[in-house]
Copies of this chain bind each other. A is one copy, B any other.
Amino acid sequence: MAKELKDLTKRSENYSQWYNELVVKADLAEQSAVRGCMVIKPYGYAIWEKMQQQLDKMFKETGHVNAYFPLLIPKSFLSKEADHVEGFAKECAVVTHYRLKNDPEGRGVVVDPDARLEEELIIRPTSETIIWNTYRNWIKSYRDLPILCNQWANVFRWEMRTRMFLRTAEFLWQEGHTAHATKEEAMEEAVRMLNVYADFAERYMAVPVVKGVKSANERFAGALETYTIEAMMQDGKALQSGTSHFLGQNFAKAFDVKFINKNNELEYVWATSWGVSTRLMGALIMTHSDDNGLVLPPHLAPIQVVIVPIYKSMDQLDEISRRVAPIVEKFRNMGVSVKYDNADNKRPGFKFADYELKGVPVRLALGARDLENGTIEVMRRDTLEKETMPIEGIEERVQQLLEEMQTNIYKKALALRESKTTTADSYDEFKEKIEQGGFILAHWDGTTETEERVKEETKATIRCIPLDGDKTPGKCMVTGRPSAQRVIFARNY
C-alpha cells in the first residue's frame, strides 16, 4: 500500500486522472455496482458530515427549519411547470412496478407484471413539485408565511457521464424551499442564501468564490433568476458550487398555491429554492490538494492533528505514550480533533505518507531524542514544511497554526484564481486566452444566441454575471452590440 500511495498521478501530467485516483486512494469514495452511483466511504463521509453540520447551523441561524418530503414524485407533477419538465423529466429514474416474484423458470426474481403502477413514480431529481403540492395545504393567509423549510436528502438524475462527487446519478444534498408573501421578500431570501453559501465556501472550505447571476441559458428550470457561487479549480476550470433560485410565482401557479394577503386579496405565493450537494466535496478536493494527496482546510478536517510516535522498543513507545496522553487531552479540551496513531503494524514512514495522502493538516512526530530534548516535530500539510519545536505549549502553537493554514490555503487559492483571471476585448483574443483555462471577463450582448455560439466554438460558457464586479458598460466581444458589464466566461465541470 505504501507503494500505491506514491503512484498518484501528478496534476501536471493528467489533472483529471489525478482527481479520480485521489478520490479513491484517499479513501473518500469509490464506484459502486450501480452505474453512476458512488459509495461514500467513512473518511469522505466524515468530511461531508462536517460540512453538513456547519451548513445546518447556518441555515438555522437564518431562521430555517428542516423537514422531509417523499422520495418519489408522481410523474404528472413534473409536467405541471413547463420549464421544469423540460429541464428535469428527461433524465429520471422511473418506478413502474411495486413487486417482484419468483421467476417461474427458477432463475431468481423477476418483475411481477401484475404489479404495474397506474401512474409511474419518479425518484426526485429535485423536490419543487412535491413540496409545492404540499405547501398548497399549509398556506391560507399571509399569517402562514414565510415558510422556511430545508431538507437534507438524496436525489437522482440519470447522468450519462459521471465523475465521483462532481456528477453522479445519485447524490446527497440539501434543498431549501421557501414561500413568501411578497416578491421583494423572496428575492431577498434568494440573495441571503447565496451569501450563506459564499460565506461557508470561503470561511470553512477556504474556497474563494465569485457570486453572480446566471444567464437565461444557465438558469434552473423553472426559475426567474438563478444566483450562483463559482469557484476556480487548479486547472483553471470553473465549478458551479451552489445555486439559489428566485422562482417567482411559477410553482405557486403550477400547484395553485394562493394566500389572502394583508389587503384581503387572493394572491399567488412567491418562492425560492437553493441547494448545495456532495459536489462541494469535489470543489474542496480540486481546490487545495497536491501531488502528495489531499489538502484539507483545518475547519473541515475530520482529523486536524495526528501524533505519530517514533520508537525502537516497546519501552520507548510506553514512554512516548505517557508524554502524549496529556497533549491529546488538552487538544480535546480545546476542541481540536486529534488522533494518536500508536498502531504497531505500520512503520512511521508509511503512516506519514498515509496522513499526507489523507490531508491531515498537522502531523506531530515524537521520538526518544525529542523526549530528551523536550521537543516535537511539527509538519504542516499545506506547505509540507517541517519544524522542531519545544513540546511545552505545543497545543496552543498548533491551534494557531491551524488557523494560519486555513487562511493560507484560502489565500493560495485566491492568488491562483487571480492569476488565471484575465480580460478579453475581442473574440480572437478570447479564443486564444480560453485555451489557457481560467476565467475570462468579457463583454457580452446579453443574448442566448451569442452565448451559444461562444459555447459551440470554444466550449466556454458564461459562468455568471458577477454581482460585485466592474459595472462599466462596453461592447460585446462577438457582436459589438452594447453590453451592460463584463461577464465571466470559462470552461467548466
In the complex, chain B residues whose CB is within 8 Å of the CB of A75: 100, 108-109, 111
- Assuming the contacts A90-B101, A92-B99, asked whether A123 and B71 have C-beta atoms less than 8 A apart, the reply is yes
Q: Is there an interface contact between B94 and A67, defined as CB atoms closer than 8 Å? A: no
Distance in angstroms from A36 CB to nearest chain B CB is 9
A130-177 contacts to B, CB under 8 A, are: 130, 133-134, 137, 143, 149, 153-154, 156, 158, 170, 172
CB distance from A54 to the nearest CB of B (A): 15
- Per-residue interface assignment for chain A, residues 178 to 211, with 1 indicating a CB less than 8 Å from any chain B CB and 0 otherwise: 0000000000000000000000000000000000
Q: How far is the CB of A32 from chain B (nearest CB, A)?
A: 5
User: Given that A94-B95, A170-B72 are contacting pairs, would A77 and B120 also be in contact in the complex, using a CB cutoff of 8 Å?
Assistant: no
> Is A329's beta carbon under 8 Å from chain B?
no
Contact of A74 among B34, B130, B158 (CB under 8 A): B34
- A459 is an interface residue with CB less than 8 A from chain B: no
Given contacts A33-B130, A49-B66, A72-B37, contact A158 B77 (CB under 8 A): no
Counting chain B CB atoms within 10 Å of each CB, the highest count among A49, A68, A137, A172 belongs to A68
CA distance A42 to B96 in the complex (A): 31
From known contacts A95-B123, A97-B96, A99-B90, infer whether A46 and B33 are also in contact, taking CB-CB under 8 Å.
Answer: no
Enumerate A66-107 residues with CB–CB distance to B below 8 Å: 66-79, 85, 89-101
* Contact count band on A: 35 or more
Residue in A40, A72, A73 whose Cβ sees the most chain B Cβ within 10 Å: A72
Complex CA–CA separation, A109 to B46 (angstroms)? 40
Q: Which residues of B contact A90 (CB under 8 A)?
A: 99-101
Tally of this chain's copies: 2
Q: Whole-angstrom distance between the alpha carbons of A100 and B92 in the complex?
A: 7
Q: Is A45 interfacial (CB-CB < 8 Å)?
A: yes
Q: Which of B40, B78, B97 is in CB contact (< 8 Å) with A109?
A: B78
Interface string of A412-450 (1 = CB under 8 A from B): 000000000000000000000000000000000000000
The answer to whether A41 and B70 touch across the interface, beta carbons within 8 angstroms, is: no
Kindly list chain B residues whose C-beta atoms are within 8 Å of the C-beta of A46: 65-66
A209 to B: closest C-beta gap in Å: 25
Q: Across the interface, which residues of B come within 8 angstroms of A49, CB to CB?
A: 66
Q: Are A154 and B71 in contact (CB under 8 A)?
A: yes
Q: Complex: how many Å from CA A158 to CA B116?
A: 13
Question: What string of 1s and 0s marks CB contacts (under 8 Å) between A313-349 and chain B?
Answer: 0000000000000000000000000000000010000
Q: Which residues from B are CB-within-8-Å of A93?
A: 72, 95, 97-98, 121
Per-residue CB proximity of A29-54 to B under 8 Å, as 1/0?
01011100111111001100100000
User: What chain B residues lie within 8 Å of A69 (beta carbons)?
Assistant: 32, 39
- Top 6 A-B pairs, shortest CB-CB distance: A79-B108, A37-B70, A42-B65, A40-B68, A94-B97, A98-B158
24 A-B pairs with CB atoms under 8 Å apart are A33-B77, A33-B130, A33-B133, A34-B74, A34-B121, A39-B67, A42-B65, A42-B66, A70-B170, A71-B123, A72-B170, A75-B109, A76-B108, A79-B108, A79-B109, A85-B108, A89-B100, A89-B101, A90-B101, A92-B100, A94-B96, A94-B100, A94-B111, A95-B95
* New A-B pairs, 8, CB < 8 Å, besides A34-B74, A92-B99, A95-B95: A33-B133, A39-B68, A75-B108, A79-B108, A92-B98, A93-B97, A94-B111, A153-B154
